[in-house]
Every structure is written in structure tokens, then in C-alpha cells.
Amino acid sequence: MTNFAERLKALHVRTAERVAVYLQFSGRDDLPLTYDQLLRGANACAQTLKRQGIQPGEVVVLILQHGEDLIYSFWGAVLQGAIPSIMPFLTEKLSPERYRAELSALISVTRPAAIVTYPEFETEVRAALRHGDSVRSVIVAQRVEPQTGIDFDALAGFARKPEDIVLLQHSSGTTGLQKGVALSHQSVFNQLDAYGRSLALDEGDVVVSWLPLYHDMGLIAGFLMPILSGVPLVLMSPFDWVRAPYRLMQSVSKYRGTLTWLPNFAYNFCAQKIRDRHIEGVDLSSWRAAINCSEPVRWESHQVFYERFKDYGLRLEALQTSYAMAENVFGVTQSQLGSVPVVDEIDREAFMSERVAKSPSEAGRPSIKMMSSGSPLENVKVKVIGEDGRELSERVIGEIAIQSDCMLTGYYNRPDLTGKAFYDGWYLTGDYGYICNGEVFVSGRKKDMIIVGGKNVYPQDLEALTYEVAGVHSGRSVAFGLFDEMQGTEDVVIIAEVDSEDPNEHQRIADTIRQHVTRNSAIVLRYVKVVGPKWILKTSSGKTARSANREKFLMELSKDGNE
């Protein structure tokens, strides 16, 4: 099997009438799509792209809401041999100006030939276009022509070579300079084979997912893998899930779901927000694995989730972990299904000051429970390296580096970034961790990145947004994450220094900052604190010291409650 189109055709021959995707909508009946329907819809989109002059190898950006149009457009681009890239759409929270600016920036780097969107959003997309840019056509998804019989031989997607790029996956971020991870057919197949084996995936499985498809976990684990493996997928919208998390439990129960991927915060969110009346009669015993991935994995989060749902058939060994990244298509490691992930209790002080993960030397010393992310997939090599690039021994914390046959082809149109990402043939992940008995433990991040609700955000991007607020001077704001035990993810804090000492003025500016950052980034702030001059601590070189300011903030918070 050399490319996606051939794989789809083979599935169509074998399982045309089998359901590929059950699409779920809030307030509407579920919509089952068989492989035959999926391919007919995709074929119609492929014909549209072809008629619009979109050539194989050209990028097609998809800005679509949850629904069949998104699915048809994605596979339609594949059948036409084009390179689909799913992007988030504008939500009511985000400022249209910011969205437009980011889309323009993305277009200038990625150079797509077409953008597929929905009717309500067409104006917004057109507003982001610039004279002379790469976009030759804006296609409105609901205007694709009626579905016809499929002439597989006429589809350009069948001529794609294994090493050709099949899709782009854009990293999340607040700036327009997102990196488009370019993946080849072969890389994706290699990942799916290895990852599928680590899960013992077979056609008796049912994947249930609410994850967005513009994120690697949703795109690969919650979309490509089931569809290309002949495993039924039950797919709901992240917007519906966040308002009604119990739908996940109902869907697992209804479809006898076996596999689900969740970011860490979702374990806490489900445990805390789901009411008994919504899960009466729900049976979760079919769940082989609910896999914790894309945020640091927390043993405590698994515990609260298990306690909440054990009376509904949930088995403790169904709670699993994985370490994954778009640059490796998806999975790097996977815990052993059928048994509980390894928990390593380590000495807190040695971890903090000596960068070593060792057992507490005596009982009663403060310790941390580290949960393993599992062992490397059969096609992935993992090592931990020190500052000098040399491999470290077991239990010593350093940067995680990986090598595999499913790595990215490159950051699309950014050879400069691709070059920097590798050292001596190894991809440098930017994550800190250690290895013990072949298990990988991820302990932190090299950069100050904040991970909130599964979204990655750089503090400097948030700080830059606060400088746009009147009264806040450049260089006089600091953003950081604070782990919130209750939520199972980080809370975002912004502190901004202003000239005024007037509390009312502080309050007013704090409100403006909250609103501005909320409207111009994908995240929501938990704490906004406006302070008078000379509050923010700087290093001797004049840089903002994030960890020192975090400590100061925590001191004040515990001293006087919050403001």
C-alpha cells in the first residue's frame, strides 16, 4: 500500500457498507457514514478541487466546523492528491481582526492554492486574502456538486508516491507564525502500523473521540487511524463535549467504545462536572483504554476519574498513557494496555536540585508520584541527553530526543526551522524527562511553554498581547502557568506593571487585559494582576525572571487571599 488513496480504495472494496464514522451532533440524531458514503462525498470534493484547477501537491486549507463537510473535504483533497491542512475556525470568543491577521500570516508561509470553508465564513476568509497571494480559489463546502459514481482511476491521489507529503498539521499557537508539520504517506503508515500494534488495534475496536481535528491527537488517533484501519469512529464536536462532558460516557456506552484519547485536564473535568442523572445506566466496561496524552500525565487525575466512574464499569487498567507529538506523526510511547501505568515515587528535592529521579532515601521525605508514559513504539528510539548533547544514564533528567521511521518531512516551507529541530540525526523534543527500565517519564519542558487544557501557548506571546493594552509598557508584564490540582491542568497568570498606584485604575486595566488576551488568543486567563511600579523581578541582564515572579505571586496569593 503506497498511499492514502489506495488504502481507501482497498477499504471500499472490502467494507463499502460498513460504517466508517458515526457523526454526533448536539440536539440531532447521530449520522452514520459508511465507507461508500465517505468515498462518494470525498470524490465530489475531489472533483470540485480538480475543476478549480487545484493540482496534486498543492496545499488546501480546510476551515470547517464539525460535520460531514469537513470529512468529505479532507478525504477529497487526498483523492485529488492535494495536501489538506485543517485549521481552527473563528469562534465567538476570538477577535475577527486577530483571526484574519493570523490567517494571512499562515497563507504567506504555507502558500495554499485553495481554502475550503462554510458559507457563513466565506467573507471572513476572503478578508484575509491579499493581492498576489497564493490562494486561487475559496470553495464553499456546501456548494460541492452532487455525488456521482467513483472513477478511481481518474483520481490524481492514486499517483502519489509514498514519500510525497500527504498532510500538514499546524501546531497551535497564538501567533501567525505557526509551524506546519509536513508528513508523508509513508510516515503516517509507519506510525499507524507501529502505534496500532502497541494497542493491539483490530476491527473489533471502536474509537470514541471529541478531539478537534486541527490538533495531532484528534487528527491521527481520533480520525486517520480508525478510518484507515477499518475501525469505526464515533466523533463529536469539542464544543459539544465541553458543554456536556457526559456525552463521552453515553457514547462509549451506546457504541461499546473501546479506545479514547484525552488530555489530562479532561479526566478532572469529567470527574467533577458530570452529574449522576446524565450517566444513569451507562456502562463503561467496553473501554479497553482511555489514553492520557498531550499534557503532562498525572496519577492524581487518573485516580479521581477512576473513583468517579468505577461504579459504571470503568476498569482501573483502562486508564493508560502515551507521549506523542505531531513531528513523529503522533505516538512516541504507549503504556502497556491491560495493566496500570508504572508509577515511580521519587524524591522531590533530588528531582528539583540534582535533576535526578531517585526513590526517597528515607520514609517521610517529600516525594512526587511520576506516572510513566509507557515504552517507545517498536519503530521509535528514545534517549535522554544533557546540555552537551551526550546521552544521560537512566533516571537522570535531560532533554528527550527521538529517532524513528515516521518523522516529519519538515516544517513546511521552513527549512531553517527543520534544520534547528534535529541534532546529530535525532529530533530534539524540547521536553525534559528520564528513562527507567525502558519506560519514559516526562517531567517538564525546556522552554517556558504553558500547556492549558491541551493547548500550548508561549508566555512571551501572551506578554506581547498585554503590551497592546494602554497603560502597560513593553517589557513590564509577565505570564506563566500555575498547575491547578483541581483542574488537572495549568492556570494562566498575567502580571502587568503600570505607573499608577490607584487600585481602581489597576482594576480597570486588569479587565482590559483579560478581555484583550481572551479575544486575541486561544486561551483564557485565570488570574490577572495589575501592580504598581517595580513589582516585577528582573534578572541582572534585565530579562523577566518568570519563575521568580511566579514565586512572588504565590507568596502574595497565600498571604492575602486573592484580589
Q: Which is nearer to another protein, 415 or 503 (CB)?
A: 503
Only segment of 48-56, 289-297, 374-382, 503-511 that touches another protein (CB under 8 A)? 503-511
CA-CA distance, 228 to 563, in Å (whole number)?
52
Under the binding rule (CB under 8 A), the answer on residue 161 touching another protein is: no
Q: Which is nearer to another protein, 498 or 528 (CB)?
A: 528
Among 81, 196, 453, 488, binds another protein (CB under 8 A): 453
Q: Which is nearer to another protein, 315 or 519 (CB)?
A: 519
Only segment of 31-39, 58-66, 374-382, 506-514 that touches another protein (CB under 8 A)? 506-514
Chain centroid offset of residue 101 CA? 22
Only segment of 5-13, 16-24, 415-423, 504-512 that touches another protein (CB under 8 A)? 504-512
**Number of amino acids touching another protein (CB under 8 A):** 28
Under the binding rule (CB under 8 A), the answer on residue 242 touching another protein is: yes
Chain centroid offset of residue 488 CA? 16
Task: State phi, psi for 399 to the nearest 5 degrees.
Answer: -85, 140
SS (H, E, C) 457-514: ECHHHHHHHHCCCCCCCCCCEEEEEEEECCCCEEEEEEEEECCCCCHHHHHHHHHHHH
Under the binding rule (CB under 8 A), the answer on residue 398 touching another protein is: no
Q: Segment 75-94, which members bind another protein (CB under 8 A)?
A: 92-94
SS (H, E, C) 131-171: CCCCCCEEEEHHHCCCCCCCCHHHCHHHHCCCCCEEEEEEC
Under the binding rule (CB under 8 A), the answer on residue 514 touching another protein is: yes
Please list, residue by residue across 496-519, b when 16 or more beta carbons sit within 10 angstroms of its beta carbon and e when fewer do: bbbeeeeeeebeebbebbbebbbe
Under the binding rule (CB under 8 A), the answer on residue 511 touching another protein is: yes
CA-CA distance, 414 to 428, in Å (whole number)?
17
- Sign of the torsion angle spanned by Cα atoms 114, 115, 120, 122: negative
Min CB(170)–another protein separation in Å: 21
Under the binding rule (CB under 8 A), the answer on residue 562 touching another protein is: yes
Task: State phi, psi for 462 to the nearest 5 degrees.
Answer: -70, -40
Min CB(462)–another protein separation in Å: 14
Are the C-beta atoms of residues 355 and 397 closer than 8 Å to each other? yes
Q: Which is nearer to another protein, 418 or 489 (CB)?
A: 489
Category of 501 on φ-ψ map: left (φ > 0), alpha (ψ -120 to 50) or beta: alpha
- Sign of the torsion angle spanned by Cα atoms 266, 272, 275, 276: positive
Residue 522-551 contact track with another protein, rule CB under 8 A, x = bound: --x-xxx-----------------------
Chain centroid offset of residue 439 CA? 23
Min CB(24)–another protein separation in Å: 13
Only segment of 41-49, 155-163, 406-414, 512-520 that touches another protein (CB under 8 A)? 512-520
Q: Segment 250-289, which members bind another protein (CB under 8 A)?
A: 269, 273, 275
- Site for another protein, rule CB under 8 A: 26-27, 92-94, 239-240, 242-245, 269, 273, 275, 453, 507, 510-511, 514-515, 518-519, 524, 526-528, 562-563
